[in-house]
Structure 1
Amino acid sequence: MASLEWLLDLRAVAKASSSGIITDDAPLENQLPPSKDPWYSAPDDWEIRQPGDVLRIRSASNLTNVVEGSAAVYHILYRSTDSRGQASWAVTTLFVPNSFYCSPSGKAAILSYQFAYNTCNVDSGPSFALSGVMAKSEPNLGIKSSTSLITEMLSFGWIINTPDHLGPTAAFGASVQAGRASLDALRAVHRLFNLRKHPGFNTAIWGYSGGSIATFAAAELQPSYSPDLSISAAVVGGLVDDISTALDKINRSPIAGTLIALLIGITAQYPEARAYLESCLVPEMKDEFMAAVNTEVTQNVGKYAGKDIYTFFKGGSAELRAPILQELYNKQAKLGYRDTPTMPMFLYKAIQDQFCTIDLTDATVDRLCEKGADIKFERNTVGNHVSEIDNGKPRAFGFLRSIFDESYKSPASKRNVVDVTADVSSQNK
């Protein structure tokens, strides 16, 4: 296997190339939020670059102290495309492990994990939040820190990629934006790696809940948007097939603030829909509603936990079903209606998922398998949307190991749906 030690100074590799990548030599110690950091901006003439082209790279040395098991960490700013097909850009964070996994054929492993950072606030993306709120657990929601998951994945010798898939407008709910940004992040990583000799890579994508939107969208957009990009498999947990069907479930729930983030995020790239949304707000409450744009995601969730978000609207919930918004939901929120994914997929979900009902995912799996998709779907008989994060993790790791060690064999039947009983809490007693 060719040495990958050069990944420990990927910035120097980019600097020595003739690729036109802007490199930042200053060590990143006290990171500014993206809204105040000049690095989070596209350079001159970036629009003429191709999707996936690397525009900037810097060493995120601050994160090596936060994420145990990372030998080097980089921020990569790259060209992408937004939901409307316009030139855009995004940032991804690349974690290099202390030692590299090597498959029987000599290939390394790249895993792109799309985090569920359900927000309309640009300062809540992983590239910044992993040094702050994402390094903390959320005991009120029963969720462990995101950095602990990265550490666990790095311990396997996998190279980990975590894109800010909502883009520079924090377009939460815009699945096309998220899918394209996720694909272009991997294009950018591959292009950087191709600057030096390497043994080849097996690449997989994974996401849960809000991260499932980006991951599933990437899988179904890949055949037409990035046919040049080789992805060996996709893992999708707690699939949010159509978040627009879950508005009533999210409202008044512990994550009711997510509804505000969704409405602002999904309209971020659609001025007409945004104007309509704002026109429906109770005038005296408009500033409070729109303040979510400048509110860190966990603060937004905490502020509106259990609240009735529909009271912000003059006509209540009916305003959110207007044709201009419904058309946007159909374009952006519904998954499973684009290209048929060509890579093997592992889906896992709690049958009693309280936010994203199992019947929608059953229908999505049936529809795609009829078109030839290779899907293994495990329906957990215990737990709910939150508990399945931990309950599903060992099974996800098992599937990914079979991809990276090249032992996975596509079954004779493309549709493999089974009920399982997986409760890690009972195993730990």
Structure 2
Amino acid sequence: MGQLTAFGLLASAATALALVLPHDNITTSPPSPDPISTAYYAAGYLPPPTYDPWYSPPSGWESTVPGTPLRIRQPAYPSINVRGCKDTLQILYRSSDTHGNASWSVVTVFRPNDTYFNSLPPLNTKNFAGRLKGRGVVSYQVPSDSVAPDAAPSNLLQGQEPYGEMRDLLMRGWIVAVPDYEGPRASYCAGAQAGYATLDAIRAVRAVAGTHVGIDPESSRYALWGYSGGGFAAGFAMELMGRYAPDLIGKLVGAAVGGPSPNLTTVAQAMNKKDTAGLVVASLVGVVDQWPEAREYLRSRLKAEGTYNATGFLKIEKMSGVEALMAYKDQDVYDYFVGGKSDIWGSESNGIIQAVVDKDAVMGVHEAPPKEVPVFVYKAAKDEMSAVEETDVLVESYCKGGARVLYHRNHEGGHNDELWAGRLRTMDFLRTVLDGWTGANMTIPDVGKCITEDVKVPLDVTCLLPEWWWGGAPRPAECG
């Protein structure tokens, strides 16, 4: 579900040249002269999505196929705040919402600062002809944990990344693509929406790989990675891939699903009345967002008066993940409802919320991941947000469906610990599937096989911490 992220501290980046693909025949409108946009641009940053007209899809976008690039902005961030990154571009692309209706989203592409990309011309020249090579591309699903459109990764990553995974991916020479998988409405915990947007982001990047990224679209390889809320999105993408994006089989060569939370119902119970209560509020608002009847019911059951009322509950709609964690810390979320907990999960609710959760926020109810794509699942055996036994059942269902899964149950630490402890194993997995590396201390199953391993990986975060952790001081020399 979520993390104590650095995302609540992020909000920046700069003016950009907005480009559109030749086949779109669109012009990009200049930003409106509202005071918020003006202030952001004056400071050298892009304004938040709700104030940025670039986030509006062009006329006729609904008739395009999922994964079609609709707008390109390059370079996107003139101020790069991720170590190892040379430059960035953004793609607004056609996708689908939870119900399969036309929707759109944005993916931000980070190119590594290495010899190959330093030899290419600037992004806005698109002059890559005859100089392309295959590359590994990692679609990294950031756990944004918010129902605020302005807290989308495409906006907040202008400031810095939250954990350091992107830095480590870039330092290994891989391109990093970060989709706003919650979509334009920031539908947190809407599983199908997240899966579709994740898959369509890969399609969009592939569509412009040769013309705008500088890599060969045919020989380049793609992988997914996400932890917690990001693992939720990556997991749904793998479950939906076989029927929604079979064209990616053979291009998508692996997926890492870390710290998954297979069932929102049990996760909400585990996180309530703790420092994670804000994620319960966000999940309830987000999961009903694309279901009008459930959304209206939820709002109708909020108290009109008192300490815990509708106004206080719905303030979540303007908060980042970190702001939500601070605002609702240790609260009993059900105090906001007229009938308490029974309004959400009890018989008095007529099962409206439960039905939506069961349809759109439970992993393992769709197809198993395609047998051709190896999946690395890793989970803390003592995960306090989501019981490991539920992930055991999820993996078992994947394996019965013919999936190819390596599953690590780490008996050291809890949910947040495994965020750090699982990173180096994930890097080994990615090196194996993207680069053909044979030195990993792990065995990736053959097609149609699964392996479950109980491991004990202690938490040693010294070289894994993000740049902001060091408070401006240089990272230790041994960390590179």
TM > 0.5: yes
Aligned residue type for 1:257:
G
3-state DSSP of counterpart to 1:310: helix
3-state DSSP of counterpart to 1:287: helix
**In structure 1, C-alpha distance between the alignment counterparts of 2:355 and 2:204, rounded to whole Å:** 32
Aligned residue type for 1:200:
S
Is 1:214 aligned to residue 233 of structure 2? yes
1:114 counterpart residue number: 141
Aligned residue type for 1:154:
L
2:296 counterpart residue number: 275
Q: CA deviation at 1:191?
A: 0.5
The equivalences for 1:25-424 within 5 A come to 29-62=44-77, 64-99=79-114, 107-132=134-159, 135=161, 145-146=162-163, 148-195=164-211, 198=216, 200-229=219-248, 230-284=251-305, 285-321=309-345, 322=349, 323-342=351-370, 343-407=373-437, 410-411=445-446, 414-424=449-459
Residues 271-291 of structure 1: CA distance to partner in whole angstroms, max 9, x if unpaired? 110110011111121111111
3-state DSSP of counterpart to 1:182: helix
Moved over 6 A (4+): 11-14, 23-28
**In structure 1, C-alpha distance between the alignment counterparts of 2:179 and 2:429, rounded to whole Å:** 22
Q: Answer yes or no: is the 8 Å Cα contact 1:21–1:57 preserved in 2.
A: no
TM-score, length-scaled by structure 1: 0.88
Residues 135-185 of structure 1: CA distance to partner in whole angstroms, max 9, x if unpaired? 4xxxxxxxxx24x32121101110100001001111001000000000001
Q: Answer yes or no: is the 8 Å Cα contact 2:282–2:316 preserved in 1.
A: yes
Aligned residue type for 2:355:
E
Q: CA deviation at 1:62?
A: 3.0
Deviates more, 1:91-100 or 1:218-227: 91-100
Aligned residue type for 1:363:
V
Q: Answer yes or no: is the 8 Å Cα contact 1:23–1:58 preserved in 2.
A: no
Over 3 Å counting, the alpha-carbon distance change for 1:170 and 1:423 in structure 2 is: same
Q: CA deviation at 1:44?
A: 0.8
Over 3 Å counting, the alpha-carbon distance change for 1:182 and 1:404 in structure 2 is: same
3-state DSSP of counterpart to 2:54: coil
Q: CA deviation at 1:86?
A: 1.1
Residues 31-74 of structure 1: CA distance to partner in whole angstroms, max 9, x if unpaired? 11111111111111111111101111112543642112211101
Q: What fraction of aligned residue pairs are identical, expressed as a percent?
A: 34
3-state DSSP of counterpart to 1:85: coil
**In structure 1, C-alpha distance between the alignment counterparts of 2:429 and 2:240, rounded to whole Å:** 22
Number of residue-to-residue matches in the alignment: 404
**In structure 2, C-alpha distance between the alignment counterparts of 1:319 and 1:88, rounded to whole Å:** 31
Residues 90-129 of structure 1: CA distance to partner in whole angstroms, max 9, x if unpaired? 0110001122789xxx631000000111111111111011
Q: CA deviation at 1:131?
A: 2.2
3-state DSSP of counterpart to 2:65: coil
Over 3 Å counting, the alpha-carbon distance change for 1:49 and 1:413 in structure 2 is: closer
**In structure 2, C-alpha distance between the alignment counterparts of 1:16 and 1:291, rounded to whole Å:** 38
Deviates more, 1:411-420 or 1:231-240: 411-420
3-state DSSP of counterpart to 1:96: strand
**In structure 1, C-alpha distance between the alignment counterparts of 2:461 and 2:62, rounded to whole Å:** 53
Q: CA deviation at 1:354?
A: 0.2
Residues 344-397 of structure 1: CA distance to partner in whole angstroms, max 9, x if unpaired? 000111000000110001011111111211000000011000000010001000
**In structure 1, C-alpha distance between the alignment counterparts of 2:356 and 2:400, rounded to whole Å:** 27
Deviates more, 1:162-171 or 1:26-35: 26-35
Over 3 Å counting, the alpha-carbon distance change for 1:75 and 1:23 in structure 2 is: farther
